[in-house]
Structure 1
């Protein structure tokens, strides 16, 4: 047994599924969820999404005080599979948008509405500093491990798709420079916003909607059979990132969030405009050239990503327009003024 000394603490449970899995990671004897428990669970709810998140985290940096060997615990993986199937079944039903092919799915992504109503539009036009801080706290669950879930697809690709994916991932990891790794840049953004930069710190506060967006990446990344869907997911992020990042950079500047907060998004405006072309033409194009039967999976990856991101955005905007926090645990007030 190798007990991990560092890493985030295990979170508090949000229901019977997550309680059982958290107890299992602590070495307890609570029975793990069976097929009936998984079928009864709300697929996008707090309990199932937190349960999935704690199942996936041993594949990343793990939890403090948890046996590192639990990553390949057969019982844990078996329970995870049941929860994944519940989540996937719901997504295949709810996220379908009737796209005929990959080009049709991309067509919707490439159209920027004249009068957008999403989160980045709101933050650019009227967002307040407290809302930017909440947005960053929630997004930290992904951005502090940015690009990691997608790296799992590399050994499952070859040819143009592998080369293109490796080129984009190399940029995400700072082109060989530690200070330019995008996860490091996001930590600098958080520092400007007086947020805690420790990996996983805001898991307790994060909404189920945010957990679902991160869990989708992990689910697709860990299943070789869903490599096409992961490529579709990655392509969606890259295609939509540049215009949204431009708006978020303006939001950070308008709110006086600080230079690192603004820089994270200005960096993505330029980088992701290039990445979009590489992903669409080399990664997606190369994969379809080698494995045309994966077209439907790529479309599913695109549609599932849009569906979950829209749910997350709707949650944020509904809370903010009501004057409420989007977090389960409100953020403490900043300790000082943002850096200028």
Structure 2
């Protein structure tokens, strides 16, 4: 992946410096809007994942860059707190029930999955997949940060979930690899980060929240709750995505990613709610509110992203940056 085009004064300065040898960053301007903020934060986080082709790996731990990342994270955390009501803490034994209620009551707005199942054309489905590629081509990696921060029952539960995400030791079964098949089946570029220049801030925020929770030990409760919310709300939408893709002529290889999630996430849902989050709450009873907040953030960011996509399509516009209107 290469550094994308800048989206404001902050990313303009940041990307210019990242393309040079590591050195102390000068005072950076504040981000000019959400596009500038989320892209800058995504770039800072990406240095802890696969990185960028033209960026020296030593930038990952450059103190001045970490200070900048901290400032961006502070702003992002404040924005999340402003739009996601924090659920009240519950006794550890009530965490599973509270997660079930939270996910069952979530109003996900216009049903993007139903639209893709029944009505969307092939270009709209491609656009949806482009959005998702920012996360699915690194699927599982943000939540894996929690493994060394847990022990006992919740650690074993997370390892069990993540082992499935990584294909049980079979590279061709890794979920990121299966998603690559989906992209290729739709005639899309499946190289890592290929569509970063096209996805808007609302898409980047979904992945940035995972990295924020994953890279800070103090937010480990939010991270396990975030994963539980994803697993508990995944099976039905993925069933619809698979049906929609087959309706549009997708073959078994293209649909396998979604088929796999219908089955795997039905199992993961129980492990995540009972063993991961329930076990975590028993070990850290003071952090039950964090678990529920992480779940609430996952649901809220997903809802906001789906609303953006559907609102764009209803206006006859693309939900991507610089993209033609999908059919």
Do they superpose with TM above 0.5? yes
| Counterpart secondary structure, 1:59 | coil
2:165 paired with 1:172: yes
Aligned to 1:299: 292
Match of 1:66 in 2: 55
Where do 5+ consecutive residues of structure 2 fail to align?
none
- The answer to whether the Cα contact below 8 Å between 1:236 and 1:302 also exists between their aligned partners in 2 is yes
| Residue 287 of structure 1 pairs with residue 257 of structure 2 | no
How far apart, CA to CA, are the structure 1 residues paired with 2:73 and 2:149? Answer: 20
**Counterpart of 2:104?**
110
Q: How far off is 1:322 after superposition? A: 1.7
Q: CA deviation at 1:110?
A: 3.1
TM-score using structure 2 length = 0.93
Residue from 265, 268, 271 that aligns with 1:278: 271
Q: Deviations over 1:264-304 (max 9, x none)?
A: 11110000000000011110011011001111111110111
Deviations 1:52-110 (A, max 9, x none): 01101111111011111111111111000000000001111211165564433431313
Name the Cα RMSD after superposition. 2.1
CA distance in 2, matches of 1:124, 1:112: 20
Distance 1:331 1:153, change over 3 A: farther
Contact 2:106 2:299 in 1 (8 A): no
Q: Measured at CA, do residues 158 and 331 of structure 1 come closer, stay the same or move farther in structure 2, by a change above 3 Å? A: farther
Q: Any conservation in 2 of the 1:13–1:22 contact (CA below 8 Å)?
A: yes
Q: Which residue pairs with 1:54 in the alignment?
A: 43
Q: State the partner residue of 1:141.
A: 134
2:187 to 189, 194, 215: 194
1:207, distance to aligned residue in structure 2 (A): 1.2
In 2: Cα distance, 1:311 partner to 1:112 partner: 12
Gaps of 5+ in 1: 1-7, 334-340
Q: What corresponds to 1:218 in structure 2?
A: 211
Contact between 1:58 and 1:70, CA under 8 Å: does it hold in 2? Answer: yes
CA distance in 1, matches of 2:222, 2:307: 24
**Counterpart contact for 2:234–2:265, Cα < 8 Å:** yes
**SS in structure 1 of the partner of residue 168 of structure 2:** helix
Structure 1 counterpart SS, 2:191: coil
1 CA distance for matches of 2:27 and 2:99?
Answer: 38
In the other structure, the counterpart of 2:145 is 152
State the TM-score, normalized to the length of structure 1. 0.89
